[in-house]
Chains A and B, each alone.
Chain A
Amino acid sequence: MSAFTRWVDGEAAVPLKTDFKPVKERKPKEKHASLGDKQRLDGFLSLYAKCAVVISVLMLIVLLIGAVALPTFAEPGNPTDNEVVHRYVGSAEEETGAENVIAGMILNYRGFDTFGESCVLFLAVCCVMLLLWATNDKIKAEAKACEKEAPPDVILQKVAKLLLPCVLCFGMCVLFNGHVSPGGGFSGGSILGAALILFAVAFGADSVRRFFTAKVFNTVRITGLMIYGSMFGVYIYQGANGISSNLAHYIVLVIDIAVGLVVMSTMYGFYSFYTKGEL
């Protein structure tokens, strides 16, 4: 204590403990005890498994008690059926111009949340790129050889030729009608991404690369996010309330398409990086 106060007053040097034992002395001990280490690890793992099961059973009991005490399923007048719902359903069409209340809600009332979601997708594909981008020529050569070994399947190609226009049309329909019918940016984007993946599987990655290169991929997903950000920013800057239903309708549509672009490129990006390590 006195040393510490003297150090605070600036009279003595910093009270450092310098009597650390050199690491070298301990090392042989560790090697000697590696068998004991293994036994300890085994013991720990079996204890860990038992503890995990016990904790899970306890959790199951607690959660079941909670679940049984919940209000009755699907009954009108439940606590969840409150004024927020009535507000959303009652004035969504007027304020957001979207007949699909869920699309209006997530793109308008909770627009920041959905913007964060799009950013999460963007970041996820960035991380996957970072982890799986094949800088190694060997990996690339392996992927190429794999592609050559398995020539494109004739049945798959014929079916894909029939199916692809339908899938693309359906995806577009879901994407563009997201605000008036079931669907929206996320589902439409996933369908379009699935169409791209089908195209890549049936006709090889090179034929996708003819129009969907790495540059286009990056442009599409960044443009989607920027359109979303700027449209929603303008909307918030305008005051968000009191915008005519017609204008809000178009804002929701454009934001929906932006989300669709982001989701589509993300889906194809995941597929492409997992299979080939590049676009």
Chain B
Amino acid sequence: MLNLIINNRFAIASVILFVTGFVNMMVHPNLIKKIVSFNIMDSATFLMLASRGMIAGRTAAILTDGGADTSLYVNPIPAGLVLTGIVVSVSVSAFSLALVQRIYGTYGTVDLRELLDAMKKKGE
């Protein structure tokens, strides 16, 4: 059992991070904390992907004088996927933060409970 955990330590760490982010996103009433939790979930996914690409004793996939000997380099595909993921995560965070800024400008709060009350008051 311990061996299994040590063998998959990165996967387990990323699972724990993912669930931490998920719980916080569900439970926290603060919108900014929701966005932060979303970013934690993103990071967990990146950790998972990057750790899957690792192969012990090999270097990053930048061909040096060794030439294209495939047994020298780690898997380059997860790195590309993580790059895509980071860009999308940055874009989504920026967009949602801009939305929160507008919400704060209109209702004067970023707390979900107070926001519901404020919206109800405005509707009446």
Instruction: Using CB atoms and an 8 Å cutoff, list the residues of chain A in contact with chain B.
Output: 41, 45, 48-49, 52-53, 55-56, 59-60, 63-64, 66-68, 70, 72-76, 78, 80-81, 84-86, 88-94, 99-102, 105-106, 110, 113-114, 117, 120-121, 123-125, 127-128, 131-132, 180-182, 186, 270, 273-274
Known: A75-B56, A101-B61. A89 touches B68 (CB 8 A): yes
Closest to B53 in A: A80
Contact B56 A76 (CB under 8 A): yes
Within residues 78 to 96 of chain B, which ones have a CB less than 8 A from any CB in chain A?
A: 78-80, 83-84, 86-88, 90-92, 94-95
What residues on A are CB-neighbors of B76 within 8 Å?
85, 88-89, 101-102, 105
Within residues 13 to 42 of chain B, which ones have a CB less than 8 A from any CB in chain A?
A: 14-16, 18-19, 22-23, 26-27
Interface size of B by CB at 8 A reads: 57
What residues on A are CB-neighbors of B27 within 8 Å?
49, 52-53
Contact B7 A72 (CB under 8 A): yes
What residues on B are CB-neighbors of A76 within 8 Å?
55-58, 71
What residues on B are CB-neighbors of A91 within 8 Å?
68
A113 to B23, CA, bound (A): 31
A80 → chain B, closest Cβ, in Å?
5
What residues on B are CB-neighbors of A53 within 8 Å?
23, 27
What 5 A-B pairs come out closest when comparing CB atoms? A124-B91, A52-B26, A67-B11, A101-B61, A74-B56
A84 to B77, CA, bound (A): 9
Contact A99 B63 (CB under 8 A): yes
Contact B63 A93 (CB under 8 A): yes
A51 → chain B, closest Cβ, in Å?
9
What residues on B are CB-neighbors of A182 within 8 Å?
60, 62
A232 → chain B, closest Cβ, in Å?
16
What residues on A are CB-neighbors of B22 within 8 Å?
56, 59
Known: A49-B27, A113-B84, A186-B87. A85 touches B70 (CB 8 A): yes
B12 → chain A, closest Cβ, in Å?
5
What residues on A are CB-neighbors of B97 within 8 Å?
274
Known: A68-B12, A120-B87. A81 touches B51 (CB 8 A): no
What residues on B are CB-neighbors of A132 within 8 Å?
98, 101-102
A89 to B54, CA, bound (A): 14
Contact A117 B87 (CB under 8 A): yes
Among B63, B64, B80, B95, contact of A128 (Cβ-Cβ < 8 Å): B95
A274 to B27, CA, bound (A): 27
Among A66, A124, A180, the most chain B Cβ lie within 10 Å of the Cβ of A124
